[in-house]
Chains A and B, each alone.
Chain A
């Protein structure tokens, strides 16, 4: 089963922004991710966390980046943009801890495009991504390069 994307790399221009839905992170989510990937006291134990630099039990920074990916993936799927991967992240800052009950949403701003290689099914868009909590505080900010499907059969010079 293959969905039919109806927005292509050619259709996306620098300056365009996408505001994602929001999702809420629970204490159980934080504990589950930490147990699998980041079993440190400030992600697993409320008492130890109170005494840490974060001031309370908070999500692993890699949990926050994974949730950013979920917000971004759902946003692009909802807009029928074919996301074919990413080559990397040139810069990311973890600005504030994420606590149980926080609601996260992302703003994705397209800053640049690079055309597809000959016969390549995708072109790149560079994006600045900001994830905010429900209070409007920025929790992470990053710059990433995403692979976006090109229009089938179209000249790739969009």
Chain B
């Protein structure tokens, strides 16, 4: 297999701008929303389904950071499922940062989000003699087809060794 179509198995040089992936769909449960809210964002609209009815959200909603964490899980699972040849994750590096993150619609218990990823830019700047930066636009749509979440993230990808100089 000389050419894998999937993210983690490839070098920076092999990842084309415009590549698009659907990571998959995830349904948020009330329990998960409350567990995350209690630990990280203890406001009643994230922790108490009854009291949340009296807030501006008219019911329990997921913390925006919970949506981010689930996005990460969806990406990791997607890459694991399709990775070939690279087992230790070296070729996909750390995120260095993100921009334009928007929480556009509330995510409620039972809502199902579908996560999409598109490479929009590559930064040829070489980081620590080894990495390039892949910039991707990530979006999540709910079961009504509404865009609920979007952001642009920079993630390091390992450059092909013979081009590192």
Determine whether the beta carbon of A69 is less than 8 Å from that of B99: no
* SS of A interface (majority): mixed
Known A-B contacts A84-B56, A88-B100; the reply to A42 vs B40 at CB < 8 A is no
CA distance A60 to B64 in the complex (A): 16
A87 contacts partner chain B, Cβ-Cβ < 8 Å: yes
Candidates A41, A48, A61; contact of B94 at CB < 8 Å: A61
Could you say which interface size class chain A belongs to? 35 or more
Q: In whole angstroms, how far apart are the Cα atoms of A93 and B93 in the complex?
A: 15
Q: How many residues of B contact A (CB 8 A)?
A: 40
Of the listed stretches B69-77, B115-123, B137-145, chain A binds B69-77
5 tightest A-B CB contacts, nearest first: A66-B40, A93-B97, A37-B69, A88-B102, A89-B101
**Chain A residues packing against B (C-beta within 8 Å):** 1-2, 33, 36-42, 48, 51-54, 60-63, 65-67, 69-70, 73-74, 77, 83-94, 121-122
Taking Cβ atoms with an 8 Å cutoff, the residues of B that contact A are: 36, 39-43, 45, 51, 54-57, 63-66, 68-70, 72-73, 76, 88-90, 93-103, 128, 131, 151, 156
